[in-house]
Structure 1
Amino acid sequence: MFRNLKAILTIEAGDPELVQAQLAAFTKQVPLLYFMLVTNTVALTVTHFNAAPAVLTLYIPSVLYAVSLFRLVHWWFSRQRRYTHEEATMRLRSTYRLTALLGAGFCAWSLSLFTYGDAYQQSHVAFYIANTVVGCIFCLMHLRAAALALTAIVLGPFTIFFGTSGNPVFTALALNVALVTVAMVFILLTYYRDFRALIQSQKELTARQAETQRLSDENHRLANLDSLTNLPNRRQFRAELEKRLAAAEDAGTGLALDLIDLDGFKPVNDTFGHGIGDKLLIEVGERLSAFMQQNIFPARLGGDEFGLIFEGNLSPDRLRALGEEICAALHEPYVLSGQTARVSGSLGISILGDAGTTADRLFDRADFALYLAKQNFRGTAVVFSAEHEAEISEQGRIQQALRAADFEQEMYLAFQPLVDTDTHGIFAYEALARWKSPSIGTVPPGIFIRAAERAGIIGKLTEVLMRKALEAAKTWPDHVRLSVNLSTRDVVSNKTVDALLDIIAESGVDPARLDIEVTETAVMRNFALAAENIRRFSERGIGVALDDFGTGHSSLSYVHKLPLTKIKIDRSFIVDIASNELSRSIVKTIVDLSRNIGCVCVVEGMETAEQVAVLRALGCRMMQGYYFARPQRLEDTLAYQAASDAILNASLRKTG
């Protein structure tokens, strides 16, 4: 019980919200409290001025007035101040102590006046104490401890003093005040309980609102932040681009958009696992974040694709140089959990104004520049230019013509022989796509194949060309093979592979006479899916040739994971083969590699007898190029085949 009583008469410093609420409420009541105290005291002093000594009617009241006015001014000028919890607690405790002191002081002073004057003046003393204290208690209702202390210090002595006065009126008054005091205490405790419950309710509501805001902020963060790299995600990047684009246009400043795609990331995932792949992406994010000091805003757009916003008036040359710096940073080795991985980054950059003025336009142009980088300049930065704009327009025209084209009528094939230089016989023909459009004329294959890929109709085109190639193969001797190229999208399209396998099965051509050619780039883009589809061809007895070997970014460790039957050395190694020792070393290495893994090695791009002689000395036997024959129509291959067979037969007769 004593502990509960002590708790009731103590400032509840352990509840910061309650302390602040008590201080705020009491601050509003202070003017009324001291106004009532001073005016009632003045009235009592006036009625006893001629009856009591000056010390009781002048000197002591003056001290009480001074203290009250000082406290009133102090509270008034500090009413707008923000207090810490410790300061607020100290302020309430000082108020509590001062209430007790002032209550005792005013009570003792007023009771000392009782012996002076007549019955009316004595009644005024009783009225003063009861009325003033009741009013003060109401003003102190937010400070339960102070209000109860004042009740005990003033009304306790009051009740005893007047209850034992021997005057029935004063005794009744004392009893009446005692009963009122009990009711007042009950009201005080009830009010304070409700006040504290209200503060607690507000505290809980504030906590729920804070939690709701925290969850909202967290949801906003998660919705706009990539959880793996902690970079902004695609949504945030798009919003940021729109905002900065508007600001750049208003201020007349420059802005550029950069899209980045990692080259060789999927092989890292396949070789080391997704855990290492995730760590690599995290480090890529950190390397890109290091460029933020150059007014660059980085983001992860998804997968192994990242985006950058460049701010400032940067020239195309400066953007290209900055892009190359980023490429160099991304190309540095990644040491992750004891494993060393290498990737590179291809960049496509579009500039506000040169490439367009809207976010969609900048994205589209940066994506086109990125496509060019990945197709032709892997690991470098390409800045979208006016020439690229013309190319887009041309590609758009070509795509429209492709969509309207009759592939059966407009598409045809040219065939280039692959020669066995030991026998001078033809062992295969490579089928090369050709298109002559009635509306736009002849279109180079490098252009319309790319346009068909971007238009999403390459699979349909490949199916038509495969049928035509298989029909041509029926006209050749059975020992002559057919080689057909598959595009990057063909290799990773299950639908296209299904259709091609059905076409081959229905053609009547022995699958063992057929080779499909795929590039390193096509295989490395999605190795797992590409490898699975390549195996499906191999299981049907179809040969698999890896074209343009040495120009991609794949690891040699992947070569043995594919069911290859041929490796074709890219012509870029052949141009200076007669004079470049490094080219000869590379070719020799590839020839030896092919022999070791049981593959036929084919060299492309032969144009001179000197090249043929050098390559034969390096161990190359199978070759292809203008030196032997340019791509021919089907009817020309028949005559060329007949001449080749005649030479071969004559050679055999001499040997025999």
Structure 2
Amino acid sequence: MTTQDDFQAYSFEQARFASIAKGWKALYVALCAVLAAVSIVHIPLAPWWAWGLFPIFLVPKAALWLLMWRGRTDPVPSTAECARALRILSIEVVFCVGAFVTWQVWLSLWGTPTSIVVLVLCMGGELVFILFGLFHLRVASIVAAIMCVAGLILTGVLADSILGAGTYMGGFVILTVGGLSGLAYIAHQHYVDFRQLVLSRHSLAQKSERIQALQEETLRIANTDMLTEIGNRRSCFHQLEKALANSRRTGRGLSFGIIDLDGFKGVNDTHGHLVGDRLLTAMAERLRQNMAAHGEVFRLGGDEFAFIVFDTDDDDVLRSIGDEVIASISQPLHIGGLNIVLGCSVGFASFPKTAESETELYDRADYVLYEAKRGGRGMTVVFEERYRRIVEASAVVERALRAGRLEEELHVEFQPVLDPFLRRTLFWEALPRWTSETLGPVEPSRFLLVAEQTGLVTRLTPILLQKALAAARTWPSDIGLSFSLSRHDVVALERVLILTSILARSGVSPGRVTFEIAESDLLKDTERAASHLRHLQATGAHVALKQVGVAQLSVHLFKSFGVTAIKLDPSLARDLAHSAANAPIIRSIAALASELSIRCIVDGLETREQFDRLRSAKPVLVQGDLYAAPMNADRVHEFLAGERREVAAG
């Protein structure tokens, strides 16, 4: 049923139509009551054909109106249809009221004082019904009301001539005309008020629609990455939550993947953000095309994207999808005259096979993405049961780190970095060690990985640095200390300031200290890391890049950070015996470092055969078990003394 509140959705013509349709039943009942009253009063006074024939023709017509309007109220027709229906109804009302009034005046010829009173009351009631029941038909209602007044006057004239009531005629006319004017004015005000109400509500409805459109646009913007025009991080997790709920309901599999572009940071830093933005947009389009048949693509931030793969948790299918994505991303891209080639790594986790919630899906996909990058990049890795065991073991390590008394449990061992031709140690690298009260000795690779992934490394670094500096304070003044930092240590200025404070209080000359950081860590946020590391360099300390050459050689980082040394990834040295290409690579990097007046350290030397393959790579420094395994601080002095004796002996 149409209510007044519905009018806010209608035009003015539709609102008039709906209002009349709503009140038409009451008007029909009133019409029937008037017909019945007039006919019944004149049954004993007038011939049957005078009081009986007119209702026979009028009532069916009124019934037809009722059915017609009732059938058209839901839904309300269009504005044009309503306007046409109202025009037709206005004409019909005028003709029907004219006929009705004429019939009543004609019946007054057989009238008595009582019947005349009934006729007058009926025509007065009709006047009220017309002015207020049909005030939406403003012109028609006024014309019909005038007809009723004319009928009242004619009835009065006939009553005067037949019954001799002339003494009341003047007052009757004044009352009728005055009453009509007052009622007409009130009806007009109702019409004006109704019109204003409808127009106001219609205006509010339009504003509400615009507000709704703005809200939808705001929601779209909030869920869209403005650069690439794909879903953003917020949209990703919202859609993932919905997809998980659907998978739980249907029992069908669901997978979540994360992709990280390899080499984007270097392109962005070298060629500028405009090229970087165009590159990201192009890569997003490639991903969208690749994933169109499988699911949805989102940008999580920076050069990291994610996708939801619907209706599958099959590992082989996911590897196939990941390999297709990697192949697509690795295709050359031409931007502004540049020929750019990137790589990527992909990690997948599945519901319900290996994850139960959106948080687990993200964490486990991110974990295997890290494994893919650590395994050499350009790989698709799917989270499997063996990774679950590793994650669970890592969780044990994490809990022990959080609960441990790290000041007591952490200690440092040292491994020398030597000039192999002078057979002289130049500095020592501090290597973290941890003996947990609950787990016992924990492999460095195991607890450092967990510390890096959870950010707990920022708790470890200050403790380890203090212990390393305390040992270095007892060494000869020409022996340096090398200490490793993580990305978490340099991403925030306050953490770097803590390190400078520890260095200032240590009693060790900052010029003897070199802070190492992995090349891959700096590529994630070069500008901020460079700015923060300058605070360390301002003290006189040096900065070195480690794990260089495993993925890319970022020469621009040498300039950005003012590095004084680079340390090659240990895998290059370890594979010398099996890979003929590694020796030329090491020699080329060493030659480049020499040209830039930067020390080059070959890490991971374990056999004489490996060293022999590097004899032509000058000048290089070396580190590895071939010369000395990591040792505790007490043995450093003994090692240095032995080294001096060997040099002296010639």
Q: TM-score if structure 1 supplies the norm length?
A: 0.79
Deviates more, 1:506-515 or 1:16-25: 506-515
Match in the other structure for 2:145: 151
Contact 2:261 2:342 in 1 (8 A): yes
- CA distance in structure 2 between the partners assigned to 1:66 and 1:499 by the alignment: 97
**1:239-268 alpha-carbon deviations (Å, 9 max, x no partner):** 544444344334332233334555556556
- Cα distance change of structure 1 residues 331 and 454 upon mapping to structure 2, 3 Å threshold: same
Q: Say if 1:163 and 1:175, in contact at 8 Å, map to a contact too.
A: no
- Residues 415, 623 of structure 2: 8 Å contact kept: no
Q: Which residue of 2 aligns with 1:417?
A: 417
Secondary structure at the residue paired with 1:525? coil
Q: Who is 1:169 aligned against?
A: 165
Change (3 A) 1:379 1:175: same
TM-aligned CA distance change 1:122 to 1:479, over 3 Å? closer
The offset of 1:547, in angstroms, is: 1.4
Deviation digits for residues 305-339 of structure 1, max 9, x if unmatched? 55443332422333233334444555556767777
Shift of 1:183: 2.7
Q: Residue by residue, what CA displacement relative to the aligned partner does 1:154-188 show, whole Å, maximum 9, x if unpaired?
A: 53476479669974637444454333322321232
Q: 2:351 is aligned with what amino acid?
A: L
Cross-structure match for 2:533? 534
2:286, 2:328 within 8 Å by CA — same for their partners in 1? yes
Alignment of 1:54-453 (within 5 A): 64=58, 67-108=61-102, 117=110, 123=116, 127=120, 132-153=126-147, 155-156=149-150, 159=153, 167=161, 169=165, 171-172=169-170, 173-203=172-202, 206=205, 237-261=236-260, 270=269, 286-290=285-289, 293-301=292-300, 306-329=305-328, 345-378=344-377, 380-402=379-401, 403-405=403-405, 407=407, 411-421=411-421, 423-437=422-436, 439-453=438-452
Q: Identity across aligned pairs (percent)?
A: 30
Counterpart amino acid of residue 89 in structure 1: A
Counterpart AA for 1:416: P
Give the length in aligned residue pairs: 634
Unaligned stretches of 5+ residues in structure 2: 1-8
Letter in 2 for 1:169: A
Q: What's the RMSD between the two structures over aligned residues?
A: 4.4
Alpha-carbon distance in 2 for matches of 1:564, 1:225: 40
Deviations for 1:107-126, whole angstroms, at most 9, x for unmatched residues? 45555666x65666994896
Determine if contact 2:38/2:119 at 8 Å carries over to the other structure. Answer: no
Matches within 5 A, 1:569-608: 569-575=568-574, 577=576, 582-608=581-607
Question: CA shift at 1:87, angstroms?
Answer: 0.7
Q: Which amino acid letter does the alignment assign opposite residue 165 of structure 2?
A: V
SS at match of 1:357: coil
Per-residue deviation, 1:22: 1.9
Q: Which residue of 1 aligns with 2:5?
A: none
Q: Which runs of 5+ in 1 are unaligned?
A: 1-14, 652-656
- More divergent stretch after superposition (99-108 vs 79-88): 99-108
Equivalent of 1:19 in 13, 18, 30: 13
Change (3 A) 1:50 1:364: same
Task: Quickly say closer, same or farther: Cα 1:537–1:175, change in 2 above 3 A.
Answer: closer
Name the CA distance, whole Å, in 2 between partners of 1:396 and 1:350.
18
Q: Deviations over 1:577-605 (max 9, x none)?
A: 57856445533432332133221223333
- Distance in structure 2 (CA, Å) of the matches to 1:281 and 1:294: 21
2:546 maps to 547
Whichever residue aligns with residue 391 of structure 1, its letter is: I
The answer on whether the counterparts of 2:543 and 2:563 sit within 8 Å (CA) in structure 1 is yes
Distance in 2 between residues matched to 1:529 and 1:75, nearest whole Å: 74
CA distance in 2, matches of 1:205, 1:412: 73
| Alpha-carbon distance between aligned partners in 2 of 1:503 and 1:138, rounded to the nearest angstrom | 91
Question: SS where residue 617 of structure 1 aligns?
Answer: coil
Other-structure match for 1:30: 24
Evaluate the alpha carbon distance shift between residue 466 and residue 220 of structure 1 in structure 2; reply closer, same or farther with a 3 A threshold.
closer
Alignment TM-score, normalising by the size of structure 2: 0.80
Whether the aligned pair in 2 keeps the contact of 1:159 and 1:175 (CA below 8 Å) is no
Give SS of 2:348's match. Answer: strand
> Compared with structure 1, are the counterparts of its residues 445 and 204 closer, same or farther at alpha carbon in structure 2 (3 Å cutoff)?
same
Residue 69 of structure 1: CA displacement? Answer: 4.3
Q: Is the 8 A contact 1:494 1:533 kept in 2?
A: yes
